Chains A and B, each alone.
Chain A
Amino acid sequence: KQEVTQIPAALSVPEGENLVLNCSFTDSAIYNLQWFRQDPGKGLTSLLLIQSSQREQTSGRLNASLDKSSGRSTLYIAASQPGDSATYLCADPINTGTASKLTFGTGTRLQVTL
């Protein structure tokens, strides 16, 4: 059974810092990987999708990388802002060929302070 671990569980940084969120999988045979952001009590916003043929994806100040051999993904946030404060979740689609679903990590709760 795939288990997804996110480190750290919580992180507080001053505005302007660059930061790295980590995500690791017990089963490194992953296909795609998706990073989400969740504000308290709100829905999940898709940030980046890294497909199996890619090693990284970039969107604005966000960069996500995927190392399938080690079963790890990293989300890099540059020049953090207070508006980045949220919980960040990585998710591994489990694909059986007939169906698939996302297995989520437990998330990293990020607080960016002024």
Chain B
Amino acid sequence: AAGVIQSPRHLIKEKRETATLKCYPIPRHDTVYWYQQGPGQDPQFLISFYEKMQSDKGSIPDRFSAQQFSDYHSELNMSSLELGDSALYFCASSPGRQGWTEAFFGQGTRLTVV
């Protein structure tokens, strides 16, 4: 079965650089979520999209932005990177809003800022 695909799997950037993470949801899933997981921490919600519109926003820094495109894939853009942005970034998708249906996660993008 198709899963959530994230790219790249690993990314190394220098401070103050920009990074773009991509997420391809499971086919026919119209909701995408982004989470950040620091070392030894539980995943923290960043932002979500439903039918290409932002539906909820969590602890996402102003330096980050995201969007969902017409084909439902999503991109998380991160600018002016800081050392503290080093983390695993997960994307999840679900067929409908998460409260009703099961969420499926991608394997994550490990971002290292040096």
Interface residues of A (CB under 8 A from B): 31-32, 34, 36, 41-46, 49, 89, 91, 93-96, 98-107
Count of interface residues, chain B, beta-carbon cutoff 8 Å:
26
Task: Report yes or no: A101 in contact with B58, Cβ–Cβ below 8 A.
Answer: yes
Q: Is the CB of B102 within 8 A of A34?
A: yes
A-B contact pairs, 10 of them (CB 8 A): A43-B106, A44-B43, A44-B105, A46-B105, A94-B99, A95-B97, A95-B100, A100-B99, A101-B98, A105-B42
A96 to B48, CA, bound (A): 13
Q: Which residue among A31, A34, A43 has the maximum number of chain B CB atoms within 10 Å of its CB?
A: A43
Minimum CB–CB distance for B111 against chain A, Å: 13
Q: Mark B36-59, 1 if CB is under 8 A from A, else 0.
A: 000001110100101000011010
Q: Are A89 and B42 in contact (CB under 8 A)?
A: yes
Once the chains are docked, how many angstroms separate the CA of A53 from the CA of B104?
Answer: 21
Q: Is the CB of B42 within 8 A of A43?
A: no
Beyond contacts A42-B108, A102-B35, A107-B42: 9 other A-B pairs, Cβ-Cβ < 8 A, are A32-B100, A42-B107, A43-B90, A45-B105, A46-B102, A91-B103, A98-B55, A100-B48, A100-B98
A98 to B16, CA, bound (A): 35
Q: A43-B90, A89-B42 are in contact. Are A102 and B55 (CB under 8 A)?
A: no
The DSSP consensus for interface residues of chain A is strand
Whether the pair B42, A104 counts as a contact (CB closer than 8 A) is yes
List the B residue with the shortest CB-CB distance to A43. Answer: B107
Residues of B near A91 (CB, < 8 A) are: 103
List, in ascending order, chain A residues with CB within 8 A of B41's CB.
106
CA distance A100 to B110 in the complex (A): 25
Complex contact B99–A34 (CB within 8 A): no
- A98 partner residues in chain B, CB cutoff 8 A: 55-56
Q: Which residues of A contact B78 (CB under 8 A)?
A: none
A30 to chain B: closest residue by CB: B99
Q: Of all chain B residues, which has the CB nearest A6?
A: B42
Q: Scoring B residues 79 to 111 as 1 if CB is less than 8 Å from chain A, else 0, what string do you get?
A: 000000000101010000111101111111010
Picked from A32, A41, A49, A95, the residue with its CB within 8 Å of the CB of B110 is: A41
